[in-house]
Every structure is written in structure tokens, then in C-alpha cells.
Amino acid sequence: MSTLKPLKIDIVSDVVCPWCYIGKRRIENALALVPDVPVEVHWRPFFLNPWVPREGISREDYLTTKFGSVDGYKGIAGRVVTAAGEEGLTYRPDLVKRQPNTIDCHRLIHWADAIGKAAEMKQRLMELYFRDGGDLTETDVLVQAAADCGLDTEDVRRRLATDEDVALISAQAQEAADKGISGVPTFVFAQKYAVSGAQDANLLARAIRQVSAEVNAQAATA
């Protein structure tokens, strides 16, 4: 058993952020490069588009509002699609027809965390959105995602119909904003050092090893 103190890693990201989709794979690859470093990973909410209403909007309206036009996104999309492919991920922007507000997605991730499935739920929702063009404003889609990750469907459906944990998730997202996080993904190590953007796995691995060494050195002299 390792006697090292686990390194706390807070990952601030959003389900509909393509660089968060890529960043999740890169941090997982980074962790695989440092298997001897114990870590404690926490997925933290962020609202990439807090102005999108709870019921969502059409993808066309969203792209027009954010990028000026649907065509205005195509060049950006091409680069992201390529970057995702290099990580073994699929992004099909042509399949996405509806832009969701992600509060319910973050609630699902929070509830999945109670059974140790937060990362799995995050991945499932991202796959539905980026790969399959799933409508994350649809309760049935969210309930099925929960079922895929081992959550009780009737319980999830009941909870989604309430405002349970809406205030909690909103407060956590606001806390990230208050700390100056404006771009995601952001990886926060030991609640002290932040790395912004979907950085290369090797860079993230070096950061994990360095901060872990510092945390344990401080613990040894405490």
C-alpha cells in the first residue's frame, strides 16, 4: 500500500464543452502515466453557456448567437473534431440539433458520485452529446444515461422532476467563477495550482507528479 497522501484533483468542466471532452481523455491518459501517484479526483460543475434556458435552444440559434452564424463555427469545429479524433474520440457537430442548459447533467454527475460513478456519468453524457447528437434536454435521454451508469431509473426520474441540488450545483459553479475560472477545462491540483485548457497528457502527468511530491514533502515536515 502506498503511504503517499492522495493528491486532490478538482476538474472544473462542462458536459457540452468539446475541449472538456478532450481534456477528460487527456487527464485520464496522464493518470495512466503516473500509476504510482495516489489521486482523489472530483468533477466540478461549470456552465459554459449560463444564458441558455433550462429547456435548451436550437443548435442553429445557439451557434448564431455565439459565433455570428452556423458557418462561423465550422472552422472551429473542424479543429476540435481533429483534436478529438487524435484522442480516439468522436465528435459529430452535424448531429447536434439542440443546445442544452447543463444543470440537469451536472445533477446527474453529482448523484452518480454517490456510488463512485461520476466519471462514468460524465463520459456517458459527453458521448451522447458529441458522438451521438443526443438531446440532453430530454428527460428520457438523461434517465437512460443514468441507467447505463447503474443508477435507479425511477429514482432519477423523480429527482429530475424536482429542484433537488439545483442550488448546490449553481453555487459550486459560481464558486469556480468567483475563483477566477473562466475557461474550461481547468485542473486544480491540491486546491492550490490550476492548469487551464485541455493540456497534453505528458504535461499533466508532470504536474501531478510535481504537486504530489510537494504535498507529501510538506506533510512529512508538518
pLDDT in tens, 88-101: 999 999 999 999 99
Asked if residue 106 is part of any domain, the answer here is yes
Residue 99, strand partner residues: 57
Asked if residue 1 is part of any domain, the answer here is no
Residue span of the structural domain in which 31 resides: 7-212
Phi and psi, residue 12, nearest 5°: -95, 120
Look up residue 214 and give its three cell numbers: 510537494
- What pLDDT sits at residue 3? 85
- What pLDDT sits at residue 1? 44
Asked if residue 2 is part of any domain, the answer here is no
Going by DSSP bridges, is the β-strand pair 57-58/39-45 parallel, antiparallel, or unpaired? unpaired
Report how many domains make up the chain. 1
> Which tens digit of pLDDT belongs to each residue from 143-198?
999 999 999 999 999 999 999 999 999 999 999 999 999 999 999 999 999 999 99
Asked if residue 120 is part of any domain, the answer here is yes
CB 7 within 8 A of CB 187: no
The domain that holds 102 is classified in CATH as 3.40.30.10
Asked if residue 58 is part of any domain, the answer here is yes
DSSP secondary structure letters along 94-123: GG--EEPP-HHHHHHHHHHHTTT-HHHHHH
CA–CA gap between residue 89 and residue 175 (Å, rounded): 30
pTM of the model: 0.96
Asked if residue 33 is part of any domain, the answer here is yes
Asked if residue 31 is part of any domain, the answer here is yes
Asked if residue 217 is part of any domain, the answer here is no
The residues, any chain, with a CB within 8 Å of residue 25's CB and separated by 6 or more, are 87, 88, 89
Going by DSSP bridges, is the β-strand pair 193-196/98-99 parallel, antiparallel, or unpaired? unpaired
